């Protein structure tokens, strides 16, 4: 038996490891199973090239709880180690990493993101164990070895009578970590971190129906038939799927396979995803994965079920910010890349060059897939538009390269249910909706019901009206106006239709200049100037007498501020201001001017104003009650 002291300058390193890593101590199981997986895959490779005398077979990793003995066992059937390899890899290599770790982090707070980075995977066991044993038999003819350490720098290394190839790690669980002797806790950790590990993981056994037993039919003395009980057999309880969909080629998968895997990832999701994007690249970095578009509608909130990041089928995190472009974090699915460090801090991740390339690749791949879906089945793409537009519009705002590519598939729906790409829309409306200054005016509505009258006025002139109702539409149209040449967007209720798209012809007013001045004075005496800017307009005599609009710029700035347009508080603090467009050619307006008594004039003005406010949803509470009462009085 060999006794020795681990070559480390810091006395009793294990409490320090525990102190620094305690916030994430559950990852010890992930680390130990990952080590066992690596040992098994290395053996597979050596066996395939004839470098190992050992038969690879069908190895698995087993996790066992000994509650009475307060022990947790992790057993693999992989490469195993000789005593010399234990000395090298456990006593020397890991501790050179440990010293580097302590030197780097001795003055910092807890950081759960450094174990894998410093080669400390095995030593994470000491976060939960007061003593750790390794019993290991190499795939070579070398005798087995037994290593023991109780958390001090001293260890023992002796021969073992183990005959089976592989490694067993025995954790003597510490008093403050007895939760890891509970079956439910270990089962939950295996589901979280090891659900898709490439080697089968056994955790206990389970009973299943015997597939080779067909229950016989028994007939009693009265001729009544019954089936004998189904015979049960006990089998290993394998807790993982070693061959998840993302590890396969897209040509080997059907639509049902992708949907089944989606529900395997998210068992509580009952809705089907709209479509998926299979990622598969091996240059200039390795990355595989599947991203799913769920039904999003208008919801911009972060999803409960997020994209999961794996490294070689080992779960790392579902905080994929920095790896996945922000606009795609609303999607679901899996990304697996060996080029992303297994357990790294946020700052390291964001500064990593490979990570930035991965983010750029994912953006391009998603854009290419969307273009392909649009080209291959436009009708289906249009049907799904309302459920995916938030992601696409957000991407157009936040990623310049995606904005450029989206010109081929981003859609602009109309209130009549038609869908145009930007180029199609431009060509459709340029003849009719270009104003007298040569600027193309794109009309849109955000609420078909609330803006119905304004939409009808626009359609009466054969103008196309888009329906743009997502929460970030103000940001999007601002981006389009600054990118596309000589265009502007105008919401249909932003002004009278003739003012939204000004043509050369000027309507003639029925009122003289003197009458207009008198009308303006009268209106300003009755209508509060802090709420309404009055503008007299000569319009069609059949048009509404009073029309309330809100200046496009002011309303848009307020909307942008409400959905995260920083630096625009000045608009948010301003009171709501509206334009009151008064049609000087309306018969009612003429009657108001000619009415002899002041009270009647005021009553007609207030009633007309309230009707205009009602059409815009601005009449509420006590004012609405008074309006209804006044209207009944007028009917009498």
Task: Decide if 479 contacts 403 (C-beta within 8 A).
Answer: yes
31 is in an annotated binding site: yes
Which of 285, 228, 300, 292 lies closest to 260, judged by CA? Answer: 292
Helix, strand, coil content of the chain in percent (nearest 5): 40, 20, 35
Q: Please report, for the chain, how many H helices and E strands are present, in that order.
A: 20, 24
DSSP 599: H
Distance CA 482, CA 294 (A): 31
Residue 110: strand, helix, or coil: coil
Distance CA 316, CA 117 (A): 13
Neighbours of 33 (CB within 10 A): 25
Task: Classify strands 314-317 and 308-311 as parallel, antiparallel or unpaired.
Answer: antiparallel
DSSP 585: T
Q: Which bin fits 106, alpha (ψ -120 to 50), beta or left (φ > 0)? A: alpha
The position carrying tokens 């603090």 is: 573
Distance CA 253, CA 229 (A): 38
97 is in an annotated binding site: yes
User: Looking at 11-165, which runs of residues are DSSP E strands?
Assistant: 61-66, 71-76, 129-137, 144-149, 154-160
630 is in an annotated binding site: no
Bond from prior residue into 284 cis (ω within 30 degrees of 0): yes
108 is in an annotated binding site: no
Task: Classify strands 578-583 and 532-537 as parallel, antiparallel or unpaired.
Answer: parallel
| DSSP letter string, 461-479 | TT--EEE--STTHHHHHHH
DSSP 414: B
| DSSP letter string, 319-355 | --BTTB-GGGGGSEEEEE-TTS-SS--HHHHHH-HHH
Distance CA 243, CA 245 (A): 7
Residue 188: which residues within 8 A CB-CB, separation 6 or more?
none
Torsion over CA: 509, 513, 514, 520 (sign) = positive
Q: 367 - beta bridge partners?
A: none
462 is in an annotated binding site: no
Distance CA 18, CA 503 (A): 76
96 is in an annotated binding site: yes
Neighbours of 183 (CB within 10 A): 11
DSSP 27: G
* Measured CA distances, 408 to 196, 330, 375 (Å): 37, 22, 9
603 is in an annotated binding site: no
Residue 88: strand, helix, or coil: helix
Residue 50: strand, helix, or coil: coil
Task: Classify strands 129-137 and 275-281 as parallel, antiparallel or unpaired.
Answer: unpaired
Binding residues for ATP: 31, 35, 76, 81, 96-97, 167, 346
Binding residues: 31, 35, 76, 81, 96-97, 167, 346
């Amino acid at each position: 038996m060999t006794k020795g002291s681990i070559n480390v300058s810091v006395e009793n390193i294990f409490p320090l490891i525990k102190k620094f890593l305690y916030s994430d101590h559950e990852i010890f199981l992930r680390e130990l199973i990952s080590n066992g997986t690596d040992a098994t895959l290395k053996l597979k490779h050596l066996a395939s090239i004839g470098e190992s005398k050992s038969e690879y077979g069908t190895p698995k990793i087993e996790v066992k709880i000994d509650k009475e003995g307060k022990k947790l066992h992790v057993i693999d059937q992989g490469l195993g180690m000789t005593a010399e390899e234990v000395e090298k890899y456990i006593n020397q290599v890991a501790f050179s990493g440990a010293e580097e770790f302590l030197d780097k982090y001795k003055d910092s707070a807890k950081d759960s993101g450094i174990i894998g980075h410093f080669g400390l995977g095995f030593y994470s066991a000491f976060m939960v164990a007061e003593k750790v044993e390794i019993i290991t038999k190499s795939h070579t003819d070398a005798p087995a070895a037994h290593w023991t350490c109780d958390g001090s720098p001293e260890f023992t290394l002796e021969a073992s009578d183990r005959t089976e190839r592989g490694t067993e790690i025995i954790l003597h669980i510490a008093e403050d970590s007895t939760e890891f002797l509970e079956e439910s806790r270990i089962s939950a950790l295996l589901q979280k971190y090891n659900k898709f590990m490439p080697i089968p993981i056994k955790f206990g056994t389970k009973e299943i129906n015997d597939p080779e037993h067909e229950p016989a039919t028994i007939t009693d003395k009265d001729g009544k038939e019954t089936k004998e009980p189904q015979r049960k057999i006990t089998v290993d309880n394998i807790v993982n799927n070693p061959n998840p969909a993302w590890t396969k080629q897209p040509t080997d998968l059907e639509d049902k396979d992708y949907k089944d895997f989606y529900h395997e990832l998210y068992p509580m999701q009952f809705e089907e995803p709209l479509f998926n994007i299979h990622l598969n690249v091996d240059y200039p970095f390795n990355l595989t994965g599947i991203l799913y578009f769920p039904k999003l509608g208008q919801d911009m909130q972060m999803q409960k079920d997020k994209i999961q990041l794996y490294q070689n089928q080992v779960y790392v995190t579902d905080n994929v910010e920095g790896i996945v472009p922000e606009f795609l974090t609303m999607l679901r699915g899996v990304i697996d890349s060996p080029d992303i460090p297994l357990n790294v801090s946020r700052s390291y991740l964001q500064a990593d060059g490979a990570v930035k390339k991965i983010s750029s690749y994912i953006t391009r791949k998603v854009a290419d897939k969307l273009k392909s879906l649009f080209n291959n089945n436009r009708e289906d793409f249009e049907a799904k538009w309302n459920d995916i537009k938030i992601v696409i519009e957000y991407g157009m705002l936040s990623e310049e390269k995606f904005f450029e590519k989206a010109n081929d598939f981003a859609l602009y729906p109309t209130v009549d249910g038609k869908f145009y790409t930007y180029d199609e829309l431009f060509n459709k409306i340029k003849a009719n909706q270009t104003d007298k200054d040569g600027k193309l005016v794109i009309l849109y509505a955000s609420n078909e019901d609330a803006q119905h009258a304004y939409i009808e006025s626009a359609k009466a002139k054969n103008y196309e009206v888009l329906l743009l109702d997502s929460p970030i539409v103000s940001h999007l149209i601002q981006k389009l106006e600054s990118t596309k040449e000589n265009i502007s967007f105008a919401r249909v209720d932003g002004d009278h239709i003739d003012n939204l798209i000004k043509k050369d012809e000027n309507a003639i007013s029925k009122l003289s200049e003197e009458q207009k001045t008198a009308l303006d004075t009268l209106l300003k005496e009755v209508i509060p100037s802090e709420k309404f800017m009055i503008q007299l307009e000569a319009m069609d005599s059949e048009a509404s007498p009073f029309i309330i609009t809100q200046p496009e710029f002011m309303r848009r700035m307020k909307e942008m501020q409400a959905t995260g347009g920083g630096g625009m508080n000045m608009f948010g603090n301003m009171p709501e201001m509206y334009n009151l467009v008064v049609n000087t050619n309306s018969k009612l307006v003429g009657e108001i001017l000619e009415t002899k008594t002041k009270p009647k004039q005021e009553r007609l003005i207030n009633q007309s104003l309230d009707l205009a406010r009602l059409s815009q949803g601005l009449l509420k509470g006590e004012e609405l009650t008074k309006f209804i009462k006044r209207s009944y009085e007028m009917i009498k």
